[in-house]
Amino acid sequence: MAQEKIRRAVCPGSFDPVTNGHLDIISRAADLYDEVVVAVLVNKTKSTLFTVEERLSLLREVTSKYPNVRIDSFHGLLVDYCQRNSIPVIVKGIRAVSDFDYELKMAQMNRGLTGIDTMFMPTNPEYSFLASSLVKEIATYGGDVSSLVPELVHQHLIARIAERHQDDD
């Protein structure tokens, strides 16, 4: 008997930290695919606000309502991770034309390397300006980012920034 194919996709990123914009893409991908793997890049050369374990844990909590979403981490090339885990599709959110320029190059390179395709998903316009880097910068200087990240992430963000400020004193 022919086995039914599982449609599996990956949402890769740094997720430092996960924002409502990421969750918009993850939840919509979860509607379209049987299984969505949210894969956190482990990049030892990049300094991050949250450790990989913390980012994984926050992602697990905020995606717990989606039964077909799984959280993982990876080193090295995304396409190697996809091949090892039988994931044929990469899903990427596009916030603006400026994202498309860089994402198109990566998508073409990834397809050229392995045949793994990338699906671009336009972000909800509500989040077209949203980036983890901006969230961290605004929160560091006391700005209100509570509408941009899930409540749990907001709590951890405020606590981590307070710790960093104490260390600086």
End-to-end CA distance of the chain: 67
Name residues whose C-beta falls within 8 Å of residue 77's C-beta, 6 or more positions apart in sequence: 113
List 110, 116, 130, 157, residue binding ligand PNS (CB under 6 A): 110
Q: Which stretch binds ligand PNS (CB under 6 A): 6-14, 53-61, 114-122, 156-164?
A: 6-14
Tell me which DSSP letter residue 121 carries.
E
Distance of CA 117 to the CA centre of its chain: 17
Residue 68: exposure state from Cβ atoms within 10 A (0-12, 13-18, ≥19): middle
Nearest-approach distance from CB 7 to ligand PNS, in angstroms: 20
Report in angstroms how near the CB of residue 169 gets to ligand PNS at its nearest.
30
> DSSP string of 142-161?
T---TTTS-HHHHHHHHHHH
Residue number closest to ligand PNS, CB atom: 13
Q: Which is nearer to ligand PNS, 11 or 145 (CB)?
A: 11
String marking each residue 45-84 x if it binds ligand PNS according to CB under 6 A: --------------------------------xx------
DSSP H helical ranges for the chain: 20-32, 52-62, 78-84, 97-114, 132-140, 151-168
Q: What is the pattern of x (binds ligand PNS, CB under 6 A) and - over residues 9-48?
A: ---xxx--------------------------x-------
142/149 Cα distance (integer angstroms): 15
Cite the active site residues. 22, 46, 95, 132
Minimum separation from the CB atom of position 12 to ligand PNS (A): 4
> Minimum distance between the CB of residue 138 and ligand PNS, rounded to whole angstroms?
18
Q: Interface residues with ligand PNS (CB under 6 A)?
A: 12-14, 41, 77-78, 106, 109-110
